[in-house]
Structure 1
Amino acid sequence: MTDQNNGDKRQVHLAAHFPGVNNTTVWADPASGSHIDFSSFEHFARTAERGFFDFFFLAEGLRLREHKGQIFDQDVVGRPETATVLAGLAAVTENIGLAGTFNSTFNEPYDLARTLATIDRLSGGRAAWNLVTTHNAFTGENFRRGGFLDGADRYHRASDFLDAARTLWESHIEGDGQFSYSSDFFDISGTFPVPTTPQVSPVIFQAGDSGEGRDFAARQADVIFSRHSEAEDGRKFRQDLDARLEKAGRRPEDLKIYPAISVILSDSAEEAQERYEEVRRQQVSGPGAIAFLEQVWGADLTDLDPDGPLPSFDPDLGNADITRGRVRHEKDPGAVVKKWRELAEAKNYSIRELVIEVSGRGGTLVGTPSQVAEKFDDLTQQRVADGFILVPHITPGGLDDIVDKVVPELQDRGVYRTSYPDSGGGTLRDNLGLPSYTPRTLQEIPA
């Protein structure tokens, strides 16, 4: 089969996120399998590859989340080490990109550069690094230097880290692997042991949504993950990034935008909506709703009925650490509580009903395969996204229906490929439509 192209229409791109056990995955569903056995990773990645997805993405946390001083067993409670899983998947797939999250605070350039170069070489040029930063002492307690990094320095270290890694990856292009790199955070020299890989540098992903994160992505990244999947919100995000890219001396097409999105399918729109409401109830259990509320209230609310009203008292604004290890999006709990009270009163919501609404992932497409394909196509043509990273609620079989039912609809529209670039055997950069990596000796990267 060959690629089809419907005139000048933009092509839809899909990718897959293996969610593991968390507040997205309905882990208690009978259809849910293991989240740590290699067979689950293999099934998920092979299915995505069968659907000509761009990449398989595996997140990673460096410490188990805690709630009220205990491991929060309704959330992530275990996952094998990411690089090992990706290396294993390189052996059972041929075309799909292999993206993993690796932290620039609690790793060192030499070790991580060697790991990623090895994956890129083993996979024939399919490696990607989702570069994340952190400075919190909670995660740091697992490491020798603890919470040593000031929050203001996390992107400074990340930039130095990536610069150092690229120095190592490029060291064999015109030399024998000898390297020397010195910056505010690193002073290293030696010989890099992995010869130049197919991509030279793995594709760089970034997911920060702060101003600092967007600036970093505009300067350094090839792909940015986004929470902005709705049309208007996504257009504003795109416009903001385009302005930052121009300032950084880069073009809009140099940075691909991939919002996270979920899909609920059925044979009719009505059945799909019913299924969506059922999934949301499964995702937000009674205890889960109370725990979600406690993160904002900063108080123990276990005595409350999840099917009853919101607490009558105000939140404890000084107890923001009731949940540790999760990004806190509610920066002003007082304002959040006020908004939630107004919503609960207007719609007569119980605690659980409120949490189901306010914790909704936003980016969920609900409908028949044809309707979902049409929405993917529409968002792509509007430049809301360059691709979509699918986050299913069932692991590992949550992609099966999408590949079997939605992908053919997209292909019939002429907006989705019917083979990988170059008939397979290409790199992840090829999958994404990115140019080959240009060594820094041939380019100027803005500071």
Structure 2
Amino acid sequence: MPDAPAAGEPGSPRRQMHLAAFVEGVNHTTVWRDPAAGDQMAFASFRHAAQTAERGLFDFFFLGQGLRMREQRGELFELDIAGRPDSFAMLAALSEVTDRIGLAATVNTTFYEPAELARSFGTLDHLSGGRAAWNVVTSSDAFTGGNFRRGGYLPYADRYVRAQEVLAACAALWAPAPAAASFTGRYVGLRGEPAIPPPPQGRPVLIQAGDSPDGRDFGVAVADVVFSRHSGRDEGIAFRRDIDARATAAGRDPRSVLVLPIARIVLGETGRDAAERAREIGFAQIGPERALSFAEQVWGRDLHDWDPDGPLPDVEPYVPDTPVMQGRVQSKADPRATVAAWRARAERDGHTLRSLMVEIYARPTFVGSPKEVATEMAARFDAGACDGYVLSTHLMPTGLDDVVAEVVPLLQRSGHFRSSYPGGTLRDLLFAGAA
């Protein structure tokens, strides 16, 4: 990356990117069979990851959520059995071994009540000194709902209706006024006294990741951060423009809604080294069983006898009454169109089933030497594709160590990233210097 003045000096960029660390829990990106992988339940693993992100001056440390073990063809999906701790307990513990980094929990609005959510997030905000964040997610999934009293009763079209009501009820409980909190909606009713004083931030920072039209509208209505899957340059620019337009239509300043896409980084001494390492990681992420599980979810049928390192299945897909995989967000795409596109791609590029699944489901965002990665991250940011990145990794807890040690200093040198934490709460950190 070429030399550039440090942030705040004449000629330095006016905007600086935001970085966050995402611990997704156990899924296809997590290579928990790697000998270097740590215990997915041990506090020491999470402490290392969070302290590494704080050493890199990241904005927040972000935990995923799993409410029920997934099932494939009616059986427990064994590739996911490695544990996922409760976010509130883990983040509360992490608040004692970190000082400035935000602490974000993914919590579902469909299955929890406003009073417990307001108290839990308010408590985390107090314990951390104003560093709590809530990744607001929704569900209409009856399978997941089986673990909860209400079950999966919620119509798909109403998932954001309840989410809006839950947030409104929580806001009433977080309000500084001493009067009793009250809210009545279609799905949520509340009347009672707040259990704790108002949180230091007033309310936690809100993160939202819906990508449907309804999800985007919900995001610009409530969120401080929109967590995006659109990490490419052109798709990122289009998404950012859409969010800006929706925010303006909703009466919000677009600068009050940060867009942070997920990104995965693979580093090497050279671009060639990094590409080879990315290939190795991809095939570790998508083993034979995982490749077949992804294919089964699209074909809608049992493919366990199929050779994952051979050609794509020559049978046609169909949509079963019960999804092959339960507990995972179901794609709304036409499986026949998806299979047709996959076959064309496999024929064009010479893919086996497994190598195609690696290309589709395990392709990293940035691959190269630290200088190459930092330069490309900055270029997409400068082009307006995002306000920064939420960084995920295949390896817990050390997967971001090299990024913090080798990429962050280059971004600081070019003026694209902060060199110290400013004071204040997480919200202050996210919007420091906003005009």
TM-score range, shorter chain: over 0.9
Question: Is 1:105–1:157's contact at 8 Å kept on the other side of the alignment?
Answer: yes
| Cα offset, 1:235, TM superposition | 0.8
Structure 2 match to 1:50: 55
* Separation of aligned partners in 1, 2:101 and 2:7: 16
Would you identify which runs of 4 or more consecutive aligned residues in structure 1 move more than 4 Å? 2-6
Identical-pair percentage: 47
CA displacement at 1:77 relative to structure 2: 4.6
Q: Who is 2:77 aligned against?
A: 72
Q: Which residue of 1 aligns with 2:213?
A: 211
Give the equivalent residue in structure 2 for 1:202: 204
Q: 1:320 deviation in Å?
A: 5.6
Q: Tell me the CA shift for residue 78 of structure 1.
A: 2.3
1:380 aligns with 381
Tell me the equivalent position of 2:231. 229
Equivalent AA in structure 2 for residue 309 of structure 1: P
AA matched with 1:373:
A
SS in 1 for 2:346: helix
2:193 equivalent to 1:191: yes
Shift of 1:8: 3.7
In structure 2, the residue matched to 1:153 is 158
2:3 equivalent in structure 1: none
* Aligned partner letter, 1:83: F
Tell whether 2:314 aligns with 1:309: no
Deviation at 1:191, TM superposition (A): 0.9
Q: Which residue is equivalent to 1:90?
A: 95
Task: Show the 5 A alignment for 1:251-290.
Answer: 251-290=253-292
List aligned pairs for 1:424-435, cutoff 5 A: 426-433=424-431
Partner of 1:123 in structure 2? 128
Tell me by how many angstroms 1:316 deviates. Answer: 2.4
Letter in 1 for 2:23: F
Instruction: Name the SS for the 2:79 alignment partner.
Output: coil
How far 1:187 moved relative to its partner? 2.3
Letter matched to residue 412 of structure 1? R
Give CA deviations for 1:36-85 in whole Å, capped at 9, x if unaligned. 11111100000000000000000102111111111112136521111111
8 Å CA contact 1:317, 1:334 repeated in 2: no
Matched with 2:65 is 60
Structure 1 CA distance, aligned partners of 2:295 and 2:221? 37
Equivalent position of 1:406 in the other structure: 407
Counterpart pick for 1:26 among 20, 24, 31:
31
C-alpha distance in structure 2 between counterparts of 1:220 and 1:214, whole Å: 10
The residue matched to 1:36 in structure 2 has which SS? coil
1:266-305: per-residue Cα shift (whole Å, max 9, x none)?
A: 1111111111111111111111111111111111111111
- The alpha carbon displacement at 1:21 in A equals 2.1
- Give yes or no for contact 1:4–1:415 (8 Å, CA) kept in 2: no
- SS state at 2:399 partner: helix
Change (3 A) 1:33 1:323: same
Greater mean alpha carbon deviation, residues 300-309 or residues 182-191: 182-191
TM-score normalised to structure 2 length: 0.95
Unaligned runs of 5+ in 2: 1-5
| Structure-2 separation of matches of 1:376 and 1:344 | 29
Q: What RMSD in Å do the two structures reach over aligned CA positions?
A: 1.6
Amino acid at match of 2:342: W
Q: 1:162: how far off?
A: 0.3
Secondary structure of the structure 2 residue equivalent to 1:389: strand
Alpha-carbon contact 2:264-2:393 (below 8 Å) kept: yes
- Contact 2:29–2:362 (CA<8 Å) still a contact in 1? no
The 3 A distance-change label for structure 1 pair 394 and 241 is same
Q: CA deviation at 1:177?
A: 5.2
2:148 to 121, 143, 164: 143
**Partner deviation per Cα, 1:207-265 (whole Å, 9 max, x = no partner):** 11011110001111110100101111001101111111111000110100010000001
Asked if the contact 1:223/1:258 (under 8 Å) is kept, the reply is yes
Q: What is the TM-score when the length of structure 1 is the normalising length?
A: 0.93
CA distance in 1, matches of 2:345, 2:31: 26
Retained in 2: the 8 A contact 1:299–1:319? no
1:319 Cα offset (Å):
4.9
Matched residue, 1:440: none
Amino acid at match of 1:80: P
SS for the counterpart of 1:74 is: helix
How many residue pairs end up in the alignment?
A: 428
In the TM superposition, what whole-angstrom CA distance separates every residue of 1:163-208 from its partner, at most 9, and x where no partner exists? 11011101xx2x3252122222222211102112210110010011
Q: Which runs of 5+ in 1 are unaligned?
A: 437-447
Question: CA contact under 8 A between 2:48 and 2:398: conserved in structure 1?
Answer: yes
Q: After TM superposition, list the pairs within 5 Å mapping 1:175-190 onto structure 2.
A: 175-176=177-178, 178-190=180-192
